A and B are shown apart, each in its own frame.
Chain A
Amino acid sequence: AQSVTQPDIHITVSEGASLELRCNYSYGATPYLFWYVQSPGQGLQLLLKYFSGDTLVQGIKGFEAEFKRSQSSFNLRKPSVHWSDAAEYFCAVDTPLPFGNTGKLIFGQGTTLQVKP
């Protein structure tokens, strides 16, 4: 069965510092990969996705992620973190099938980002 691992439950970075959130998946082929952000009391907002092509994808709010097939990873990065980035971040995958994806997103446990002034 597919699984998604976010090894870091909680990360603290200083404002202006760079950020990398890790995501590893287990699946034989290349899945569709997503990063979502959830601010306190809010729903899930899509930051970016990857399904094919250039392995470095750009998203909203200055985030990017790199797909590395050899490492089964899809890590999220931001060069300079802002205090408003404090939130919970979820990596998710879906299985591509010939007729389309399953529609069943499998989520990681989430990483809580705290930003120090």
Chain B
Amino acid sequence: EPEVTQTPSHQVTQMGQEVILRCVPISNHLYFYWYRQILGQKVEFLVSFYNNEISEKSEIFDDQFSVERPDGSNFTLKIRSTKLEDSAMYFCASSEGKRGTTYEQYFGPGTRLTVT
């Protein structure tokens, strides 16, 4: 069964460093998303992406964050200058469509980001 994959599974970085989290969405999916889950808290939406553009972003997704689809398969989340509060599990998701039966977001296993 097709699945969303994410690398690395765990990333440790120092405050102020740049990190890139990578995702490979399901191959026929057109919509891509990033979420994060701070330990013990809700899963929070960060950004959605379609047709090489951001469709929607949350207040969390400030200028320190960016997303890119550098080729036909990868979808990346970059944090330019990490802060301690960026420590969280980051989930990538994808969906085939955005309405009706095609709208199911499939999540990857997550990347645990630890900022020290």
Q: Which residues of A contact B (CB under 8 A)?
A: 32, 34, 36, 42-46, 49, 51, 90, 92, 94, 96, 99-110
Contacts and interface: CB of A to CB of B under 8 A. Distances in A.
Q: List 3 tightest A-B contacts by C-beta distance, closest first.
A: A100-B98, A103-B48, A44-B107
A110 B42 contact: yes
13 contacts: A36-B107, A43-B108, A44-B91, A49-B103, A49-B104, A96-B99, A102-B55, A102-B56, A103-B56, A103-B98, A103-B105, A107-B44, A110-B42
B51 to A, nearest CB: 12
Interface residues of B, number: 28
**Interface secondary structure of A, over-half rule:** strand
Contacts of A49: 103-104
Interface of B: 4, 31, 33, 35, 42-45, 48, 50, 55-56, 58, 91, 93, 95, 97-100, 103-110
A2 to B, nearest CB: 11
A32 B95 CA distance: 14
Contacts of B44: 107
Contacts of A34: 104-105
B103 A51 contact: yes
A49 B98 CA distance: 13
B35 A105 contact: yes
B98 A43 contact: no
